[in-house]
Amino acid sequence: MNNKETTYSEDLFQYIKVSEDEDDSNAVEIPCELNGTLLLSTLVAQFPGACGLKYRHPESKCIRGLRLSDGRLHPPTEAGWGKHLYICVFPKENKRKMEDVSPENSAAKTKRLEKKLICSDLICLGLPWKSTEESIKKYFDQFGEVVMVQLKKDKNGSFKGFGFIRFATYTSQMRALAQRHNIDGRWVDVRIPNSKEGVVPQMPCKVFVGRCTEDMTADDLREYFSKFGEVTDVFVPRPFRAFGFVTFLDPEVAQSLCGEDHVIKGASVSVSSAAPKIKNKNNQNWKEESYGPNSWDGNRSGPPGGPSNNGGNSNIDSLNMQNLGINPNGGGPPANFNLPISLVAAALNQAGWGGFLGGPNNSGPGNWGQNGPPQGGNSGKNLNNNGSWNQNGPPPYWNQGNNPNWNGNKNGNWNQGNWSNGQGWGGNSSGPTSSNSGWNKPQT
DNA sequence: GTTGAGCGTT
């Protein structure tokens, strides 16, 4: 593909030795990419909080830093990585040992970590009654090492249906937060606990990709951007809108790409923050230019035929805060949102909330109620206190009227109509797909 | 014994 790949061809899948200091007894061998670079996300997966690499040059005896670009660390020379022991670089305020990530920190260390919290406990809501700490640990081990599971019980010792987990690494946590969870047939919400609001940094993982051409599919974007880091979601609106969204597992990868131009399928696309533009706080009309870096409107951001105006004030500042990494209310829509929730959901899902807002997005809803896809017909209680969907799902009008694309039936199930048939949300990887089946599955 | 929105005896 390029010269570097040729140059480093002997080093395909090469592992390099990385340690936190010059003592290599704790070194970890981590894999490089095909083109000879090392993804920062790969490094961070093993060394949470790491921001770079350095090594001691054998001749000069000096410490040399490695070049970091586009979320990738580059080998020190054209000859490749050599046999050096590479040493992690941590942000100055965050210099610490791996053990510090564990919850058993001293108070002083914990305080120092507050500036850049690596992991948080995560709350798991809606766990099956039959869950045990062992079974929950076993389930979440697929996302990375689970260092804590606490299932909450009442005074009688009976399980209350929720609990807390903690991963060893931020990457594992991100991975778990980035998708839905079906445990023993139940949809389980995994979220940052309310108690961690505003404490745990919620960096935006989603970028806006502008100047897309019509022949660029979600798969094209995924394939291209995967070389920078693990892609957890891609959204390409159809009909053609000349933009898309790509969500990375690692927010640092997302940030590193912002402001860059990239060539995909012979066309230059621009990558920028997915944070929505603020136009007019009052009377948001969700039309052209009112949202998104390059203009996109609320009408088309949801399935065609969805509600088209809001009829109320909105709290877009909160929305943007979320996109900018501020998490005022635990990841759900602002509690005082006055927009029709359908629009909010449609817009937010594309505005960078993919991993945290429930909705047709394979980042997965942390916030759908226990019944998974919304059930129709309710008395207006559509949001719980966190602004998440409750069991009743969105308002009845999602399922009524002349909006066949929102739902082909009125019984409130999302498993029919066009959610998965190529219209509206369907037809791209952001809608309910086989990889996130369960949109169709009622929960008891 | 049943149940299904929530936020943790640290």
pLDDT tens column, A240-275 = 999 999 999 888 899 899 999 999 999 999 999 887
Euclidean distance between CA atoms A149 and A135, whole angstroms: 10
Cβ contact A41 with chain B strand, < 7 A: no
Structure tokens at A412: 């409130």
Closest nucleotide (CA of A381 to C1')? B5
Count of Cβ atoms closer than 10 Å to residue A299 Cβ: 19
Per-residue confidence (pLDDT) for residue A91, from 0 to 100: 59
Q: Tell me which nucleotides of strand B come within 7 A of a protein CB.
A: 1-10
Say if residues A48 and A10 touch (Cβ distance below 8 Å).
no
Cβ contact A117 with chain B strand, < 7 A: no
Per-residue confidence (pLDDT) for residue A121, from 0 to 100: 94
Say if residues A110 and A154 touch (Cβ distance below 8 Å).
no
pLDDT band at A106 (very low <50, low <70, confident <90, very high): very low
CA-to-C1' distance for A20 and B5, Å?
44
Cβ contact A397 with chain B strand, < 7 A: no
Per-residue confidence (pLDDT) for residue A72, from 0 to 100: 79
Closest nucleotide (CA of A195 to C1')? B7
CA-to-C1' distance for A372 and B2, Å?
22
Q: Quick check: A172 pLDDT over 70?
A: yes
Say if residues A271 and A315 touch (Cβ distance below 8 Å).
no
pTM above 0.75?
no
Per-residue confidence (pLDDT) for residue A398, from 0 to 100: 38
Per-residue confidence (pLDDT) for residue A44, from 0 to 100: 75
Residue type, A437: S
Cβ contact A390 with chain B strand, < 7 A: yes
Cβ contact A330 with chain B strand, < 7 A: yes
Q: Which residue has the higher pLDDT, A13 or A399?
A: A13
pLDDT band at A220 (very low <50, low <70, confident <90, very high): very high
Closest nucleotide (CA of A390 to C1')? B5
Mean pLDDT of chain A: 64
**Of A8-17, A235-244, A434-443, where does mean pLDDT reach its minimum?**
A434-443
